[in-house]
Amino acid sequence: MSFKLGECGGDLHVKSGTVFYNAQKISLGKGVRLGNRCDFYVSPRESNKKFPLVIGNHVHMGHRCTLACIDSLIIGNKVMIGNDVYIADHGHEYRNPDMAIIDQPVTEPKQTTIENESWIGASSIIMPGVRIGQHAVVGAGSIVTKDVEPFTVVVGNPAKMIKKYDLVTKQWMKI
């Protein structure tokens, strides 16, 4: 299988089974490493953005990750993502009790952003509209439903802050 990405900075390493849906809508930076069987999905629905899914430079992603995007999913530079991570900018509507959920539309997309130098632990889920701040850490198995401050560590479901970098003492402090 071959894919023609919208944009790619070069030095791209992709392991087997990784697929790009609507590859022309995806922008990859340089030096990106992707594991086996990752899914990069950009909906065929109209977006006014040239690249709804943007991945920065030197991003490393493990195996079996899914990035699901309608309009705006942005991953910064030097982001590290473990195995089995799911990140999306939309969900699915369920509120009409008279219609099967499968027949209801997806929700309106909300921009999901993973800022530079952050680390998303294995088996985590990043919910639509969330912003993970610079150099933040999401512990393994976390479900992130709210924004995460830069230079903090969050864990659990729903993810809560457990550590924060203190600029005065220059130490990671327990919360």
Ligand X SMILES: CC(C)(COP(=O)(O)OP(=O)(O)OC[C@H]1O[C@@H](n2cnc3c(N)ncnc32)[C@H](O)[C@@H]1OP(=O)(O)O)[C@@H](O)C(=O)NCCC(=O)NCCS
Which of the following is catalytic: 58, 60, 92, 135? 92
Q: Give the Cα separation of 36 and 49 in Å (integer).
A: 28
Return the range that interacts with ligand X (CB under 6 A); candidates 19-27, 46-54, 63-71, 151-159: 151-159
Q: Closest separation between CB of residue 84 and ligand X, Å? A: 9
Residue 141 near ligand X by CB under 6 A: yes
Binding mask 64-103 for ligand X (x = CB under 6 A): ----------------x-x---------------------
Cα–Cα distance, 44 to 21 (Å, whole number): 9
Q: What token pair was written down for 50?
A: 């040239």
Phi, psi of 23 (to 5 degrees): -55, -30
Q: 58 and 30 in contact (C-beta within 8 Å)? A: yes
Active site residue 92: yes
- Residue 140 lies near ligand X (rule: CB under 6 A): yes
The three-class DSSP label of residue 23 is helix
Task: Point out which span in 42-50, 92-100, 102-110, 153-161 binds ligand X (CB under 6 A).
Answer: 153-161
Nearer to ligand X, 6 or 62 (CB): 62
Distance of CA 2 to the CA centre of its chain: 23
